[in-house]
Amino acid sequence: MLEVKNLKKIFNAGTINEKVALDDVSLTLSEGDFVTLIGGNGAGKSTLLNCIAGVHMVDEGQILIDGKDVTRIPEHKRAAYLGRVFQDPMMGTAANMGIEENLALSYRRGKNRTLKWGISNKERDVYKELLSTLDLGLENRLSDKVGLLSGGQRQALTLLMATLIKPKLLLLDEHTAALDPKTAEKVLKLTDKIVEEGKLTTLMVTHNMRDAINHGNRLIMMSNGKIILDITGEEKRNLTVESLLERFGKVSGEEFANDRALLS
C-alpha cells in the first residue's frame, strides 16, 4: 500500500544548522497494516509523515502509494489518497466554519470543487449518523462553529473527517499528544475502532511507548533519521515497555533518553 524507498531529507543544507532528518529511510506497509511509529524528539517521525503527505519535498528517494509514484506530486493532490490527523487540534479543522461545513470539505477530498452547493441536505443526514457514533452529542450541533469544540472533540471530528472518504493511507501525527490523558485514551479507542471497521492502512506517530505497544500490529522505532527497530506479529504482541527499552539500548548503544516517552 505504501512503499518508501531510500528517503533522504536534509533541512538547512550547507549551513551550520544542517540537520539530516531522514537518512536513507525505506519502509513498506501492506494493506491493512496498523503501524505505530515511535522515537525521541528529532528522530524524524514527523518529518517522515510530512514527506509522505507532501508537506516537505524529499531530497532523494521515492514514495509510492498503492503502486503510484507520488514523490513529486504536490500536497493537495496527494490528499486524494491520504487521511491526516495532526498533533495540534487546531490544525485539522477550520475553526470559523460549522461542523457540517468542515465535514463537507473533507467529503469532497480528492474531487474537483465545482459551483454546486457546498453541502446538501442528504449529506447532513449522513453526517448526523456518523457524528452520533462518536457519542459526543455533536450530531445535534451540526451548524455550530468548530472553534467552540474542545481539543478532544476537535480531534475526534478530524479523525472522522480524515476517514469520511476511505483513505488509502491514514497518517496520524501524535494526534493525542496535546490532549489530557483521559481524552487521549478516548480518542485512541476511537482510532482503533475506525481503523478496524474501515480496515485502514495506518501509520501512527506517537511518543508514548505504551500506546505504541498496545495499538497496531507492527511497531517501528526511529532514531537520528533512521529506522532502528521494526517489530511485527507474535513478537509485537509480547512486547513490554521494559523489553522495548532493552532492545533500543542494544540496537542504538545508548539509553532511551526521553522522559516524555517513559513517564507518559
Partner 1 sequence: MLNIILGAVSLGLIWAIMTIGVYITYRILGIADLTVEGTLAMGAAIAANSISNGTNPYLATLLALLGGLAAGLATGLLHTKLRIPALLSGILTMIALYSINLRIMGRANISLLNRKTVYTPFQNIFEKYNLSTVIYPVIAVGLITVMIIVCFLYWFFGTEIGCAIRATGNNPNMVRAQGINTNTMVIVGLVFSNGLVAISGSLYAQSQNFADIQMGQGSIVIGLASVIIGEVLFGKRNFFSRLIALVLGAITYRIIIALVLMMGMPANDLKLFTALTVAIALALPMFGEYLNTIKNSFRRRNNA
Is-contact 22 44, C-beta < 8 A?
yes
CB of 241 to partner 1, least distance (A): 32
Binding mask 137-156 for partner 1 (x = CB under 8 A): --------------------
Number of residues binding to partner 1, judged by CB under 8 A? 35
- Grid coordinates in use for 3? 512503499
CB of 231 to partner 1, least distance (A): 29
**β-sheet bridge partners, residue 11:** 19
3-state class (DSSP) for residue 92: coil
CB of 194 to partner 1, least distance (A): 17
Binding mask 225-254 for partner 1 (x = CB under 8 A): ------------------------------
CB of 54 to partner 1, least distance (A): 8
Identify the helix (H) or strand (E) that includes residue 159. Answer: helix 151-164
Q: Restricting to residues 66-85, which ones interact with partner 1 according to CB under 8 A?
A: 74-77, 79-80, 82, 84
Q: How many CB atoms lie within 10 A of CB 15?
A: 8
Gap between the Cα atoms of 216 and 22, Å rounded:
23
86 binds partner 1 (CB under 8 A): yes
Q: Which amino acid is at 64?
A: L
Burial readout 94-118 (b: 16 or more C-beta within 10 A, e: otherwise)? eeebbbbbbbbbbbbbeeeeeeeee
Note the residues at the interface with partner 1 (CB under 8 A).
53, 74-77, 79-80, 82, 84, 86, 90-97, 101-102, 104-106, 108-111, 113-119, 161
